[in-house]
Structure formats: structure tokens, C-alpha cells
Amino acid sequence: KGNYVEEYPSPDELFYRKYGELQEKERDIITHPFHIEGDMKPRFYQQIAVQKTIEAIADKKDRVLLTLATGTGKTYIAFQIVYRLFQAKWNKDGTDRRPKILFLADRNVLADQAYNTFNPLEKDIIRLNGKEIKKRGGKVPTNANVFFAIYQSIADNKNRVVEVSDEDSEDDVTGYYRQYPKNFFDLIVIDECHRGSANDESSWRDILNHFSGAVHLGLTATPKRDDNGDTYKYFGEPIYEYSLKDGINDGFLTPYKVKRVQTNIDEYRFDPNDIITGELEKQIVTLEQFEKEVIIPKRTELIAKTILENMNAMDKTIVFCVNQKHALDMKVAIDKFKLVKDNNYCVRVTSDEGEIGRKFLKDFQNNDKDIPTILTSSKMLTTGVDAKNVRNVVLTAPIKSMTEFKQIVGRGTRVFDGKDFFTIIDFVGATNLFYDERWDGEAVETQSTTTSTKDKDEQKNEENRSDSDYPDTNGEDDTTDETAPKGKVTIDIKGKKLKVIDIETTYVGEDGRPLRTDEYLKFLIGVLGEFYDNEEKLREIWSNPVNRKEMLNKLSDMGIDESQLSDLKQIFEAQESDIYDVLAHISFNVDIKTRSERVIAVENSDFIEKYQIEKAKEFIEFILQRYKKDGVKELDEDKLSDLVKLSGFDRSELKQSFGTYNIRDEYFELQREIYK
């Protein structure tokens, strides 16, 4: 328990208490302002990440790690760190000069995006490119302060099995980084550092070892796991973490719903009626074998058709496939069933497309462009896609790695105006990883900092597999046909009709995991209890369009929008019923009526007969049929005027036909009759 004080300490006193032992230069670094441009300023967690990093550097810490979820602006954070160090003239030797900084990525798309983010420093930044260095006679540029590169452009090729063509030969010269003195850079920022920068055997590590005297700042979206222990061993514990769950709860990342699709071809069993090309080694083929060992074109077509049926036509969508061949097959299948006829509505973006693919990706990321709408890919788009308006992430390839899974989910989490959520459409059960104990966005201790020989061999094979897939050495990570097993089996299904047998929709809960159906219903009952405690109260609210709208708006504010309520009808196989009936069933276990049954009940009552003129009766019947066909939206308060126009009746004549009855009042009264 502390002692009482006479007055609060002044800001200067508090500052001295915390930073008094630092030299004036370090204190200047810590207090230097952020870069503010227009209305854009760092979010609270970005400010914390920047400040903690600046303080760590001022405190002479040489290895620094930041762990923030995909979509939270890691590159922007890096820019603010660099900007403040740059303006404060921080450097390792303490002289009066601006620092030399290297931003290192493993993909061109990441390096390019970072370069653009650092645009306020445009006079002091340069992009290191192997081709351009070669044109300069192999001499690296030194006339800048902030350098951007993919490691392939400057690293040794000793650990790489890539074979470079003349056209894409930026990486065919060994060790450009060695032209820089070991003390040339003061700071190295390593983007997506979990991808191998800290691995003892990686090409990244050679670069970091050469510049070992610099401060190394690692950026990652991946909390500590067994499969990335090297990263945490090298950098140490993160000085700041901000998880996917944090981002969703704070409103900076978009929540998601999951559609788990099951078909009758999730497993193939030998059928003598099918036409099999190649040698089928086993009678049963599992999900993990599809596209790698066995190709079933009709399965691909079923998935393509189902994707289109479960998305709005112009919703931007990324489809993750098994390999490049699968991505092409999926693109062709989507083209077969698409309603939008633009040739570039669906495109494949893998390393094989080269510059054309990067152009497609750039257009896809442009929120003002609708085309392309759907991208098919394998590994290339797991990171580095800054597309804020992605509405659907489709999984057609099994995923075992939690790291990869988190990255893929992150493709949809970016916030965009009008985007209340995004949808994960899962054909392979990959979303079971949501229920893995590792899916909490929190750091956990690894069992060991050493990796078994088997694991290292597997990691090395994975690195070699990825590298060998890139003739243009852009750092993209795709699986090509060359890496797939030879002699794939193709099966033309003749013995049965392929179909979807179930689509289960779940929504994210407070812990960042999708709620199972029973969990979601329990959660929903608790929320609904705040609005009514008996069926009569629910009926009173729902049968009045003003009260109904108010309730729906409040539910939406609480995280339950109309699409979720509509999905409830699917859970209870009540697509032809009103949401009211589903809510009443959930809350009070009453039987679910169809809209047709409710309309018939009104028609058999005395309600319509009270009108003396036939035109009034016909208009009421018109409203009932619209409700029966399209549901409760036809009963909205502001819908009445449209209904009058759609009915074809003259407004003044219709008003006369109701006699002493007011049309609006009768519109409300009809709804009370419908929900009797």
C-alpha cells in the first residue's frame, strides 16, 4: 500500500520517473511525435506497439518482436516506428545522422505494399531489385536511408533449388547483401518473420547474421506455437501482442460466419460404373488425396456451383485450392456456372501468372473495381493481400497448419464500409481448427525450442518445395504440377449424382471461435430474453412494423443481424416460415407455422370480408400473397407506398375503396391478424 501524496505529480515529474535514466538522445526518440496525415492517425493499439518498440530501441534492445493479427496494420506500425527514428536522427553509433534501415520481406507484393506505405519518406526510400542492380553492373545502391527488398533479391542462393530463367533473373547473382558493410544498417525490419527469418538454415539468417549489429525488428501475425519456436527463440518474447479476438472485440476487424459444406463426394468409394483413368491404388479416397492423387472433375464443378450459390454475385471472394492445377480447374468450373459474363470475373492468381497475375491482384484490391470478383489460388494469397472488401474466403484444400489457417482467415478480417461480416465457406473441414486449443490469439509456451530431425527435414522439404515453384522468384508460395505426384488418377463419376447434403452456418462467439448450433441457440435465447418474456409480448412487438424494426436494429447492434436470423430458418428447416415463428419456437417451443398457413388463416377469417368494395379486398389479398412469397420485408412500415404502386391500383381510387378505413391503419391491423 502506497503513501498519500499532497498533489498529483506533474507530467514532467512522471516522465522523469519513467525515463529519467535515459540520455537526452534517447528521451528525444521516445517523445518524437507520430506522423499524422489528414484524418489518418494511429489507432490506440498501433500507438502502443510503436511506443513500446521505440522504448525498447532506446533501451538498447537489439532483438524486438511485435505480434499483431492480420489486418491490424503491421506495415503502418513499422512506418511510424521508422518515421520517428528517422526524424529523431536515431542511429546505432549515436552520431548526428539519419538511420539506414532495411525493410525485408519474402514476397514482392509485401515489399511493394510496404514501399507504398512509406510514401511520406519518398525522397529517402529505394526499392532493391536484383534486375536493376545487375543493370548497374552489379553495384548495390547506397544513396538512400530506407531500403526495401525481398530476401531473394539480395541473398545467397546456396539453400535454394530455384532455377531462374533469363526473363526473371533478378535473383541469379549470389549475395548482393555482402556489398554493404556489416555496420551499414542501423535497423532491419523483417516482415512476416515467422516464415523463416530466424531459422538457422534459411537464407534469411545469413542476411541477419551479416548485419548482426543492427537492431532486428520482427513483425508477425502468428503467436508462439510449436511450429514457429525458432522465431521466438531468436527475437525473444513479443514486446506487444494484439490478437484477432482483440481486433474483433474492439471493432477494428470484421467478425465472420462459417458455412461448413458437406457433399456426398467428401469421400470416394470405388464404383465399377465410374470411368477411371490411371491406376486407383485404394478403394477409398479421402479429402486429403483429392487433387494431389485423385482428380474428380464433377466434384470440382459441384464445389464451384455451390460457391456461386452461397455468395452475392459481386462479392469479392478468394478461393484457396490445393495447387495451381486445382486453382485453374476451379476457375474453369466457376466460369461454366457464373452469371456474370465478364471474362475476368474469376481469374487464377498464382506464381505462374507472373505480371498478369499481379495486375489482377492489384485490381482485386482496388475497392472501386468490381472485376475481378473471384480469385482462385493455392498458397500465394495466404499473406500480403490488402483487400479490405473481401466478403468470402473459400477453403477447398485441407489445412493442417494453424499458422497458415490464421493467415487465410485474416484475408477477410479487414474492415470496410458496409461490411458487417465476412463468410468462410469450408468444403474440407479446415474450420475445425477454430476449436483447436491453439486458436485463441494468445501466445502459448512451446514444448521445446529444439526441433526434431524429422521436423527439420520436413521443414526443409517444404522450403525447397515452395522455392522450386517460383521461376520468377517473387517469393510467392504456390504448389505447381511439378511438385505433385506423377500419374494422377482421374475419375468420371457415373454411378451417382453428386450433391450437397448439408450446409451448417455458425457465427463467431466472444472468444473468437464459431459457436456450434446448440451454443448459438443458447446465446440467442439469452439475448432475446432482454426483449420479451412471453409469446404475447413477442407477438405484440413483431406484429407492429415500427416496434419490429426497432427490435431488429437493437439485435443488430448486439451482433445479431437479419442474415443470422434468416439462417435460423435453415437450421430448423423452416425456409417457408416467418422469422417470428422460429423465434417463438426457440423461446417457447411452439409449433412453427409456414407463411402459407398464416395467409390461409387470414383468408378464412372475417378480416377481409369487412371491406365493402372488392378493390379493397383485392389489395389486402395482394399484400398477403407478397408476404407469402417474399416474407416479412413486405410488411415493413415504409413498404406500403411501394405495394400500392406494385398493385396497379390508382391511389385515390384505392383510398375510396377502403371507405371509412384508413389504409395505413389497415396495413398495421392486417399484420396483427397475420400473427394472431
Question: What is the tens place of the pLDDT at every residue in 240-297?
Answer: 998 877 887 777 777 788 889 999 999 899 888 889 898 888 889 998 889 889 999 9
Please give the grid coordinates belonging to residue 109: 507484393
Which spans in 142-202 are helix H? 151-154
Please give the grid coordinates belonging to residue 635: 410488411
Angle, CA 187 vertex, CA 185 and CA 189 arms, to 5°: 120
Q: What are phi and psi of 178, to 5 degrees?
A: -70, -15
* Peptide bond connecting 372 to the previous residue in cis, omega within 30 degrees of 0: yes
Decide if pLDDT at 625 tops 70: yes
Instruction: Name the residue among 123, 199, 85 with its Cα closest to residue 460.
Output: 199
Please give the pLDDT value at position 454: 34
Is residue 256 classed as helix, strand or coil in its secondary structure? Answer: strand
Percent of the chain with pLDDT over 90: 24
Q: Are strands 284-285 and 346-348 parallel, antiparallel or unpaired?
A: unpaired
Q: What are phi and psi of 68, to 5 degrees?
A: -135, 140
Q: Which residues pair with 253 in a beta bridge?
A: 414
CA distance 281 to 101: 55
Please give the pLDDT value at position 437: 60
Decide if pLDDT at 667 tops 50: yes
Please give the pLDDT value at position 533: 85
Percent helix, percent strand, percent coil in the chain, to nearest 5: 45, 15, 40
State the DSSP code for 7: S
CA distance 254 to 417: 11
- Classify 256-492 by CATH class: alpha beta
Please give the pLDDT value at position 668: 93
Cα four-point dihedral sign 443, 444, 449, 454: negative
Q: What are phi and psi of 621, to 5 degrees?
A: -65, -35
Please give the pLDDT value at position 195: 63
CA distance 71 to 195: 17
Other C-beta atoms closer than 10 Å to the C-beta of 162 total: 18
Please give the grid coordinates belonging to residue 53: 518498440
CA distance 257 to 218: 31
User: Which of the given ranges, 6-15, 217-226, 386-395, has the highest pLDDT on average?
Assistant: 386-395
The enclosing H or E element of 346 equals: strand 346-348
Q: Which residues, at least 6 apart from 222, have a Cβ–Cβ distance to it below 8 Å?
A: 67, 194, 228, 231, 403, 406, 407
Please give the pLDDT value at position 459: 36
Is residue 322 classed as helix, strand or coil in its secondary structure? Answer: coil
Is residue 158 classed as helix, strand or coil in its secondary structure? Answer: coil
Q: Are strands 390-395 and 422-426 parallel, antiparallel or unpaired?
A: parallel
424 and 257 Cβ atoms separated by less than 8 Å: yes
Which spans in 176-317 are helix H? 203-210, 229-235, 244-249, 297-309
| Identical fold between 11-242 and 256-492 | yes
State the DSSP code for 150: E
Residue with cell 493455392: 378
Other C-beta atoms closer than 10 Å to the C-beta of 516 total: 13
Please give the pLDDT value at position 229: 57
User: Which of the given ranges, 242-256, 350-364, 390-404, has the highest pLDDT on average?
Assistant: 390-404
462 and 483 Cβ atoms separated by less than 8 Å: no
Cα four-point dihedral sign 525, 530, 536, 542: negative
475 and 152 Cβ atoms separated by less than 8 Å: yes
CATH architecture, domain 11-242: 3-Layer(aba) Sandwich (3.40)
CA distance 460 to 34: 41
Please give the pLDDT value at position 395: 94
Task: Indicate the Cα dihedral angle 196, 199, 201, 205, nearest 10°.
Answer: 80
Per-domain residue ranges of the chain: 11-242, 256-492, 516-593, 596-674
Number of residues assigned to the chain: 676
**Burial of 408 by CB count in 10 Å (0-12 exposed, 13-18 middle, 19+ buried)?**
buried
383 and 411 Cβ atoms separated by less than 8 Å: no
Decide if pLDDT at 453 tops 80: no
Q: Which residues, at least 6 apart from 24, have a Cβ–Cβ distance to it below 8 Å?
A: none
State the DSSP code for 78: H
Percent of the chain with pLDDT over 70: 81
Decide if pLDDT at 418 tops 80: no
Decide if pLDDT at 448 tops 60: no
The enclosing H or E element of 601 equals: helix 595-603
pLDDT tens for 534-585 read 899 999 999 999 999 988 888 876 667 777 777 778 778 888 999 899 899 9
Question: Per-residue b/e over 622-647, b at no fewer than 16 CB within 10 Å?
Answer: bbbebbbeebbebbeeebbeebbeeb
Please give the pLDDT value at position 464: 34
Instruction: Name the residue among 329, 337, 338, 378 with its Cα closest to residue 490.
Output: 329
CA distance 308 to 261: 13
231 and 194 Cβ atoms separated by less than 8 Å: yes
Q: Where are the beta strands (DSSP E) in 252-360?
A: 256-263, 268-269, 275-277, 284-285, 294-295, 316-320, 346-348
